[in-house]
Amino acid sequence: MSFQKPKGTQDLLPGVVEKWQRFEATARGLCDRYGYKEIRTPLFEQTELFQRGVGETTDVVSKEMYTFEDKGKRSMTLRPEGTAGVVRAYVENKLYGDPDVTKLYYIGPMFRYEQPQAGRYRQFHQFGIEALGSAEPSIDAEVIAFGYRFYRELGLQGVRVELNSVGNPDSRVAYRGSLQNYLRPMLDTLCKDCQSRFEKNPMRILDCKTDAHRFDDAPSILDSLDEESAAHFAEVKQHLEAMGIPYSINSKLVRGLDYYTHTAFEFKADGIGAIDTIGGGGRFNGLVGQIGGPDQPGIGFAIGMERVLLIMEQQGVADPAALPLDVYVVAMGEQAAKYAVPLLYKLREQGVRAEKDYLSRKMKAQLKSADRLKARYAAILGDDELNRGEITVKHLENGEQASIPIDQLGDYVKPQS
Ligand code: AMP
């Protein structure tokens, strides 16, 4: 019997995983500069958290969740996104007691039962940030600028920012009415999903996978914004302009759920067929309250790692250079082979990237292995030398050779920084 990975998942093997590590290191580095601290929440949560926190009318919750009953007969779900768990932890751990804005980030796997294709997986990974506790437009702009900067730091070109406002709840009530008036005459011809969204969540109809192109002349939510919402939006745009972040307005970019407020945005890039969204986010002033916390505003984004890495590959962004091995210890003779074990331990303790043979191979094969591993030095240890307390070091690039005291090996091969 042979086993295969589950459909829609990936093995990230050495050679590829370095790209992921670079993504993660870039994310962590920027989070540090922008003041975001890491949070790690469980990979599964009570199903109800996502029903409330993502919304029962979304495709994610209604069709795509990995839900199971545990042995205690509780309904559990593998997290399909990061925000609900972060907000749950924020409430449960009373992080809202912090007088400053709470800035959190996460990197990790998410699970959605979707039809796999390029850029769409069942286990995929997101890097996300959430800023909780401020309703100021300046933080909306900062979150968007952070995302924009992140793609740039990774070396991606041509990432577009699409921006919209879904306003406050009053603005959305007004918009809902005008959107329903627009959609009503075509209701019979819409797909089944959209027909059922018409009452529950009409704004979601605008991003219907099959019919979206038919709504080009739908009313714009921006025309329904009340004074407060329009002022918030204007200020977000001013801040973006001051930072020199290019954006375009997409008034169809809506999030239908009540706890989404004001700013909504997406990051887009070409390259993976019909899929062009590589990240997205928005303000969620009602979410903390929705899942049982105090009335605290929030805003964040989630960036899909697989899609970003795919596009980086297509754009030919250079892979990070692998660090060479500092030294490969070639042991000749039984005594030397034994001695190599504590020698390697000591070298690594000194911060040296060291390797040796583990297959009792002859010297020639050991030197080949040193070449394959791109070692800078080979350190050749014979039983006689060992008795004299010496070792031969050979610079593998220029062939220079020297005999040095064994206890100086670490300092000798360590890269000069
Ligand atoms: P969402 O939480 O749906 O707004 O998704 C945020 C980002 O996660 C998207 O922009 C994608 O980059 C990524 N994403 C969402 N679903 C998937 C998936 N099934 N496979 C890979 N990436 C995904």
CA distance 88 to 354: 45
Mean local confidence (pLDDT), 38-56: 95
Question: Using one digit for the tens of pLDDT, what is the confidence trace for 100-135?
Answer: 999 999 999 999 999 999 889 999 999 999 999 999
What pLDDT is attached to residue 256? 59
Question: Using one digit for the tens of pLDDT, what is the confidence trace for 319-328?
Answer: 877 788 999 9
Residue nearest to atom 8 of ligand 1 (CA): 304
Residue 8 has pLDDT above 70, yes or no: yes
The rounded Å distance from CA 304 to ligand 1 centre is: 5
Ligand 1, atom nearest to 278 Cα = 12
Residue 351 has pLDDT above 80, yes or no: yes
Residue 204 has pLDDT above 90, yes or no: no
CA distance 21 to 321: 12
Rg of the chain (C-alpha set): 28
Residue 86 has pLDDT above 90, yes or no: yes
Answer for the pair 202, 297: CB distance below 8 angstroms, yes or no: no
Question: Using one digit for the tens of pLDDT, what is the confidence trace for 265-299?
Answer: 999 998 887 788 999 999 999 999 999 999 999 99
284 vs 256, residue with greater confidence: 284
Residue 332 has pLDDT above 90, yes or no: yes
Residue nearest to atom 15 of ligand 1 (CA): 304
Query: Which range among 78-82, 252-256, 403-407 shows the weakest confidence by mean pLDDT?
Result: 252-256
Q: How far apart are the first and last CA of the chain?
A: 51
Mean local confidence (pLDDT), 221-245: 97
Ligand 1, atom nearest to 116 Cα = 19
- Which segments of 35-80 does DSSP mark as H helices, in order? 47-50, 59-63
What pLDDT is attached to residue 326? 97
Mean model confidence pLDDT for the chain: 94
What pLDDT is attached to residue 412? 97
Does residue 278's CB lie within 6 angstroms of at least one atom of ligand 1?
yes
Does residue 114's CB lie within 6 angstroms of at least one atom of ligand 1?
yes
pTM of the model: 0.92
Q: How many residues does the chain have?
A: 417
Q: How far is CA 375 from CA 296, 303, 314, in A?
A: 55, 37, 31
Ligand 1, atom nearest to 82 Cα = 2
Residue 197 has pLDDT above 90, yes or no: no
